[in-house]
Amino acid sequence: MQSPTFDPTMLLKVARTPMPFGKYQGVLLVDLPEPYVVWFHQEGFPKGKLGEMLGLVYEIKVNGLEYLCEPLK
């Protein structure tokens, strides 16, 4: 089975894209609280690019990699 390819521009996108709706509307995706991102992981990410970006944010958060996005903001 082939692993999915990583788009390096996606890291830049999650560092600079604000949440488009909800309680955290306007907060950069990478700055969303971890419990909120974990909730999305459990309930299901939205379809499309936003869901892909939130999935990456989840991986960043649970692995303690937020520092990777700091210089990209």
pLDDT tens by residue, 16-59: 999 999 999 999 999 999 999 999 999 999 999 999 999 999 99
**Which tokens is 48 given?**
């499309």
* Contact present, 25 and 18 (Cβ < 8 Å): yes
Q: Domain residues for 14?
A: 9-66
Look at the chain and report how many structural domains it folds into.
1
pLDDT interval class at 5 (50, 70, 90): low
Question: Which has more pLDDT, 4 or 68?
Answer: 68
Q: Flag whether 48 is in a domain.
A: yes
* Contact present, 58 and 44 (Cβ < 8 Å): no
* Contact present, 57 and 30 (Cβ < 8 Å): yes
Q: Flag whether 36 is in a domain.
A: yes
Q: Flag whether 1 is in a domain.
A: no
Q: Flag whether 27 is in a domain.
A: yes
Q: At what angle do helices 48-62 and 34-43 cross, to 10 degrees?
A: 120
Q: Flag whether 2 is in a domain.
A: no
Give the 3-state secondary structure of residue 4: coil
For the entire predicted model, the pTM comes to 0.87
